[in-house]
Amino acid sequence: MSDQENKPMDKERRNLLIATGGVGALGAAAFAAPLVSSFAPSEKAKAGGVPVEVDVPAPGELKVEFWRGKPVWILHRTDEMTASLEKVKDQMADPDSLQPFSMPLPEYCDKTTRARPDHPNVMVMISTCTHLGCIPEPRLKAGAQPSLPDDWAGGFLCPCHGSTYDLAGRVFKNKPAPQNLDVPPYMFLSDTKIVIGKDEKGEA
């Protein structure tokens, strides 16, 4: 072994090695931090599953919100719209929502209106067709219209394969869609505001 190899490392060289090692460690940490954070869910993704507060639209109007990444309709039916639900009941494939699609009808919802009895005119439903997931078009006005029967009482028409739903999201008989539209958990915070994704039992 040479004298050079036995010679202790001088102080200046030692400090230089420590400094360059520290810079390297900082660089690795700076690289790793965004890499690790990229595995964490974004704020938008986290917000996708939390309850959503929505103002109830005016009578006769429809509003769209998003919950868990799905479009949700909030329809404030007029008294006439709600009354029409009983009249078309015998035309429904599942008038009492006994065959749920991806979630059962909340137990606090009336079978015909599919809404809370204390606010029977306010309908909340996930607006994806139960056939192949297309978004039906609102056809709220009653009467003859293209692609609809002459005695149309108002509802929704899927543009993909022609499935039709009434103003409570119940599918008509002999249509491609096999089930009614889903009704998510929801509750009223006041007469003019609801929260989707939460009810008296807690968050969904």
- pLDDT, tens digit (0-9, with 9 covering 90-100), for 27-73: 444 444 444 344 443 445 435 679 999 999 999 999 999 999 999 99
* pLDDT at residue number 204: 74
Per-residue pLDDT tens digits for 82-122:
999 999 999 999 999 999 999 999 999 999 999 999 999 99
pTM for the complete prediction? 0.76
Q: Which two tokens stand for residue 49?
A: 């599953």
* pLDDT at residue number 25: 47
Phi, psi of 21 (to 5 degrees): -65, -40
Per-residue pLDDT tens digits for 87-98:
999 999 999 999
For residues 160 and 32, the model is more confident at 160
Give 81-84 contacts, CB < 8 A, sequence gap 24+: 81/121, 81/140, 81/154, 81/167, 82/113, 82/120, 82/121, 82/167, 84/142, 84/153, 84/154, 84/166, 84/167
